[in-house]
Amino acid sequence: MLMNSKFLSSAAFLTAKPFASNFRHAGSSQITLAAVRLSVFASCSSWSSSSLSRNSSLPPLKSVDTSLAVLEMDRDRLSLLRDAAAEFPPPPGKKFSYGTAGFRTDGSLLHSTVFRTGVLAALRSLKTEKVIGLVITASHNQEADNGIKVADPDGGMLTMDWEVYADIIANAGDANLFVKAVEEIVKKEDIQFGSASGKVLLARDTRRSGPSLVEAARKGIEAVSGVSAEGKGVLTTPQLHWMVRATNKGSVGSESEYFDTLSSAFRSLLDLGPSGVSERGPLIVDCSNGVGAEKVTCLQRSLEGLNDMEIRNTGRNGEILNYLVGADFVQKEKVLPQNFDAVRDEGKRCVSIDGDADRLVYFYTGQSVTELTPVLHLLDGDKIMALFAAFIADQLRSIVNVTGSAVKQESFAPVIPGYGAVKFGVVQTAYANGASTRYLQQNLGLEVVLTPTGVKHLHEKAAAYDIGIYFEANGHGTVLFRDSFVHWLKKNGDTLPAVEGKLAAKRLEAVSELVNQAVGDALSGILMVELILRYQGWSIQQWDTIYTDLPSRQLKVKVLDRSVITTTAAETRVKSIPQLQEAIDNEVEKYEAGRAFVRPSGTEDVVRVYAEAATQELADNLAREVGLLVHQLAGGV
């Protein structure tokens, strides 16, 4: 019998929808398809061909050969997918590449890619037998752009193996080639249909192209039988990732649960903190004219006055998303966003988030020795990570001290009886300021690991620790806790022999709830920063003094072919042209606190140069000299 052999052919995915969900719709075509699916997956012989033909325009099943009838039906279902894909033809001559940010381009060119990514997400849900997420956003890009990215069952980014599939189906050409590519994925992944259903959570940011792209994604998801799309409306990207993770862990995974979790953890941490410490005036939040404005308002409401926030750049009066505002603008340009004034806001604690609220950078304006008017002081992802790392290290030291264990100064690795060595590390890229790395290593005694550029590399490495922190300078990052360590804290925290140890264990447990465990999240990051500043009794200016950034300079060198340069050691060393790396090393030695590296761009034929040194003039000179070396030895044009 067919059901006892390998379950249908790779084309059978279009006939796999569980029948119960199909009767939610009143349309006769839905009921007809439900009847067809019942006949195949419930019992191949229990429904007669005549009973099907009464409600269906599909060819009736032949009684002489069931297997041939099923194959014929598969072709019909494939035809439906082909027709659905034909509604969204790919733009001619456009090539798409799925990277850390997913697919991203002008929103008017994305409908085909979004539809196809919807199909991919549906297949991923069936493969994993878990809920998957899709979010329509282009983050910090200009308003006209949009994008789509997939959230895997753990709430993290799409696994790299499936990024290849995303590229294949996005660039497959016409509908026939697309269907053929889908069949190949189904075969290779051995995706089984009919035994389980799938679900994809679907959300978007505030861009004007969002609603039509959501509809294209929904059609793609629901073109794969057995999979439903659950619309979540307008969300931040981290909210969607959080919901996917929570849902797969058995929670409701609603937006209200998200805010309840953050506010409850924040409230608990305040209760567990030192007494008599309050915030130093309101936090001024630049919301980048994006989705963050509504969500920060909701967060503030859920906190019930526990943290005062003044919200600016909401976009509610038609202001342009990400234009002269937001975390990316402030971090890269090092200037104030619109609707901030250096004099009026002097000394105030400010934070910018980006268009989809997955990045944050703090800043303030203050006097400078060389400037007559207040200047911007930026506290980027490096400084946020340093703040988080110091706080968590303090809590671990409290637990270690009360259990009588020792901490090695050269490598912070506490050993807790009943758990063992707690692996605590921080993860950066080569673009992290050297002063931050030295602070983490020398002042805190922490293990610092470098990875290639890209959040997926940072996240993967941080997840290998019991507590792992990663941040990029742009403000994207989070703190990851191993489940087994959180379980130990919950089970054993109250058994520690001293009050301070008990408090520290409870604090870490609450931090694991406060900080988004799926991806970087500006909202939870803001609460974490605000909490630690209260614990320390610090102003933003005091936080800024924990270390001083080394001046740096970045530039690009045009080359004939960027692929001639390959790198190693987390992109800090040139591998393919030894004489170039030797020349860079010789140049760096001439500069006080000098450091420099080069790496090929991922999108254009340029080589990116990064240099830092003791003064801005020295950093500029070092970058220029290294750029000349690249031009001379790597085919500059």
- Residue 600 marked in a binding site: yes
- How many CB atoms are closer than 10 A to CB 269? 22
Q: Which amino acid is located at 558 in the chain?
A: K
The pairing of beta strand 552-558 with beta strand 467-471 = unpaired
Give the residue numbers marked as catalytic: 139
Query: First and final CA of the chain: distance in angstroms?
Result: 66
CB 234 within 8 A of CB 291: yes
Let me know: does 271 contact 306? Beta carbons within 8 Å: no
Annotated binding-site residue? 43 = no
282 in a known ligand binding site: no
User: Which amino acid is located at 107 in the chain?
Assistant: G
354 belongs to an annotated ligand binding site: yes
The CB density around residue 9, as the number of other CB atoms within 10 Å, is 17
| Residue 393 among known ligand-binding residues | no
Copy the structure tokens of residue 429: 């890229």
Query: How far is Cα 454 from Cα 452, in angstroms, rounded to an integer?
Result: 6
What one-character DSSP code corresponds to residue 446?
A: -
Distance CA 385, CA 365 (A): 21
Based on its alpha-carbon atoms, the radius of gyration of the chain, rounded to whole angstroms, reads: 27
Q: Determine whether the annotation assigns residue 389 to a binding site.
A: no
Tell me the C-alpha to C-alpha distance, in Å, between residue 465 and each of 246, 422, 448, 482, 503: 21, 8, 12, 7, 22
Ligand-binding annotation for 608, yes or no, is yes
Nearest to 264 by CA among 293, 306, 309: 306
To the question of whether residue 356 is assigned a binding role by annotation, the answer is yes
Structure tokens at 589: 């030695």
Evaluate the CA torsion angle 343, 345, 349, 350 in order and state its sign. Answer: negative
603 is in an annotated binding site: yes
3-state secondary structure of 568: strand
Check the annotation: does 521 bind a ligand. no
Tokens found for residue 177:
């080639």
The one-letter amino acid code at 394 reads D
| Distance, CA of 269 to CA of 530 (rounded, Å) | 11
Q: Would you call 39 helix, strand, or coil by DSSP? A: helix
| Rounded distance between C-alpha atoms, residue 69 and residue 60, angstroms | 9
Q: Residues marked as binding for Mg(2+)?
A: 139, 354, 356, 358
Q: Residues marked as binding for substrate?
A: 472-474, 599-603, 608
